[in-house]
Amino acid sequence: AQSVSQHNHHVILSEAASLELGCNYSYGGTVNLFWYVQYPGQHLQLLLKYFSGDPLVKGIKGFEAEFIKSKFSFNLRKPSVQWSDTAEYFCAVGGQAGTALIFGKGTTLSVSS
């Protein structure tokens, strides 16, 4: 069965600091990997996704993530965070060949100005 582990429950940063959120997954087959963001009071929106090809994927708002197959990891990064990045971030895996899309428990990011 698939599973997703996010290592950081709550991250607090100052504006302009760099961000890295960890995500590890457990799945033996070909994976589709996602990072979603949920701003306060809103639904989930896609930040970026990996299906195949270049393991370094770029998403919206300056976010990027690197797929490292040997480590079963898909960490999210941003060189310089802004106050508006305050949100909850979810890593997800799956959704292909009849498998369900499974989410991690989420990481709350708080950015102070």
Partner 1 sequence: NAGVTQTPKFRVLKTGQSMTLLCAQDMNHEYMYWYRQDPGMGLRLIHYSVGEGTTAKGEVPDGYNVSRLKKQNFLLGLESAAPSQTSVYFCASSYTPLDILNTEAFFGQGTRLTVV
Interacting residue ranges for partner 1, rule: CB under 8 A: 6, 9, 32, 34, 42-46, 49, 51-52, 90, 92, 94-96, 98, 100-106
Q: Note whether 92 and 99 are within 8 A (CB).
A: no
Token look-up 């970026």 returns 48
Minimum Å gap between C-beta 32 and partner 1 is 5
Q: Which is nearer to partner 1, 41 or 113 (CB)?
A: 41
Q: Facing residues of 110 across strands?
A: 12
Q: Which is nearer to partner 1, 11 or 102 (CB)?
A: 102
Per-residue tokens: 88: 């909850």
Q: Which is nearer to partner 1, 94 or 111 (CB)?
A: 94
Q: Facing residues of 48 across strands?
A: 35
